[in-house]
């Protein structure tokens, strides 16, 4: 065998080996392509992964979502996408841990802080809860707010009980119902269909950036601003188990170095920035900010206590030290 042939063969082998070592992740984003998660957060994260793995792992985002919001986790399990972001409220039958950050009046108005706190709590109390996929990060977004569509702000239990309210599905809808409100509950992406038609005269659960994104400012007259976080929602970022297993341990470590707490904080900070920008547009949109009556806030805290009691029981049944996890999360926020 000639030296030239041997050298060529070796080069081909090296090229084949290099090609085999490369992984291209298909990363799904269920928000519209213009949403900051699809246009900023995930693309920046993929750039960081490519840099951290020296080009061995890259990623691509399809222009449209490959599955509806409730099926993000399922799409990763089935291999339709390699990576996706799942709203934890839609998989409460599967995981309980990340719902620690979704308890009424537990959170703060700092989504980046809450996101770091949730990841720290995950690592301490429910790191292995996802058993069909690999968990890359968990994060929390800006708190949902209470809005009035009439000239009268909602600032008492009586006000709330007298209204017909659009509410985000889950605890907020349950709380409003328990207080006697008429409740219409749909996914957030369908909120405009209900609110713009005047079916309801108030809405609860969206933050300012969502009110802007779903074009609800023209139908909203005031927002009741609470001292604490009325309600916050959390999400999980997951990767297909087989895909993860095909990545070298070195590159797995590199990916996690830009995921986990770092990615959580990036999501939260992006939400904080978008929310602040949307809130700055309240005045121009004619939305009045009304400080919550302390008695109203206290009454709502009391009225929503059953939500946290229910979560503590469900999480404990799932094998999580629920009270300790809740206390830990609060302590992380206090930092």
Does residue 115 have a pLDDT over 70?
Answer: yes
Pick the CATH number of 146-231+288-306 from 3.90.550.10, 1.10.20.140, 3.40.50.300, 3.40.190.10: 3.40.190.10
Where in the chain are the domains?
A: 23-141+233-275, 146-231+288-306
Asked if 224 contacts 153 with a C-beta cutoff of 8 angstroms, the reply is yes
List, in order, residues 6 or more apart from 168 with CB less than 8 Å away: 144, 185, 188, 204, 205, 206, 231, 233
Residue 111 to residue 272: CA distance in whole angstroms: 6
Q: What is the pLDDT of residue 188?
A: 85
Residues 133-178 pLDDT 10s: 999 999 999 999 999 999 999 999 999 999 999 998 888 999 999 9
Full 3-state SS string of 153-182: CCCCHHHHHCCEEEECCCHHHHHHHHCCCE
The two three-digit tokens of residue 170, written as one number: 């889950």
What's the fold here for domain 23-141+233-275?
A: D-Maltodextrin-Binding Protein; domain 2 (3.40.190)
Q: What is the pLDDT of residue 170?
A: 83
| Orientation of helix 42-52 relative to helix 249-257, angle to 10° | 140
Residue 237 to residue 276: CA distance in whole angstroms: 24
Does residue 65 have a pLDDT over 50?
Answer: yes
Asked whether the domain spanning 146-231+288-306 has the same topology as the one spanning 23-141+233-275, the reply is yes
Q: What is the pLDDT of residue 32?
A: 86
Predicted confidence band of residue 88 (pLDDT cuts 50, 70, 90): very high
Asked if 108 contacts 216 with a C-beta cutoff of 8 angstroms, the reply is no
Across the chain, mean pLDDT equals: 92
**Please, what is the Cα angle at 256 between 91 and 247, to 5 degrees?**
95
Q: What is the pLDDT of residue 295?
A: 97
Q: Across residues 268-278, what is the average pLDDT?
A: 96
Q: Across residues 245-258, what is the average pLDDT?
A: 98
Which residue, chain included where needed, has tokens 């950036």?
209
The two three-digit tokens of residue 244, written as one number: 């993860």
Output Rg (C-alpha) for the chain, integer angstroms: 22
């Amino acid at each position: 065998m000639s030296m030239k042939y041997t050298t060529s063969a070796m080069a081909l082998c090296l090229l084949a080996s290099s090609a085999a070592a490369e992984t291209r992740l298909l990363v799904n984003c269920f928000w519209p392509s213009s949403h900051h998660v699809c246009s900023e957060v995930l693309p920046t994260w993929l750039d960081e992964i490519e840099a951290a793995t020296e080009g061995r792992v890259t990623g691509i985002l399809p222009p449209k979502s490959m599955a509806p919001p409730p099926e993000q986790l399922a799409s990763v399990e089935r291999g339709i996408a390699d990576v996706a972001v799942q709203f934890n409220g839609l998989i409460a039958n599967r995981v309980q841990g990340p719902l620690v950050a979704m308890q009424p009046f537990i959170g703060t108005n700092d989504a980046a802080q809450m996101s770091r706190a949730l990841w720290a709590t995950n690592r301490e109390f429910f790191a292995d809860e996802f058993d069909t996929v690999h968990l890359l990060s968990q994060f929390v977004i800006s708190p949902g707010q209470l809005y009035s569509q009439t000239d009268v702000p909602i600032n008492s239990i009586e006000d709330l009980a007298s209204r017909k309210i659009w509410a985000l599905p889950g605890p907020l809808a349950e709380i409003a119902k328990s207080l006697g409100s008429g409740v219409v509950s749909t996914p957030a992406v369908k909120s405009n269909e209900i609110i713009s038609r005047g079916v309801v005269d108030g809405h609860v659960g969206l933050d300012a950036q969502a009110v802007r994104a779903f074009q609800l400012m023209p139908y909203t007259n005031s927002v009741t601003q609470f001292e604490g976080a009325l309600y916050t929602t959390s999400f999980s970022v997951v990767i297909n188990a087989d895909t993860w297993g095909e990545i070298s341990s070195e590159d797995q470590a590199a990916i996690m170095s830009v995921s986990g707490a770092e990615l959580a904080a990036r999501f939260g900070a992006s939400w904080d920035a978008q929310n602040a920008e949307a809130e700055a547009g309240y005045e121009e949109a004619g939305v009045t900010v009304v400080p919550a009556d302390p008695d109203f806030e206290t009454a709502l805290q009391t009225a929503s206590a059953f939500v946290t009691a229910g979560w503590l029981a469900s999480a404990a049944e799932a094998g999580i030290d629920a009270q300790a996890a809740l206390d830990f999360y609060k302590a992380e926020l206090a930092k």
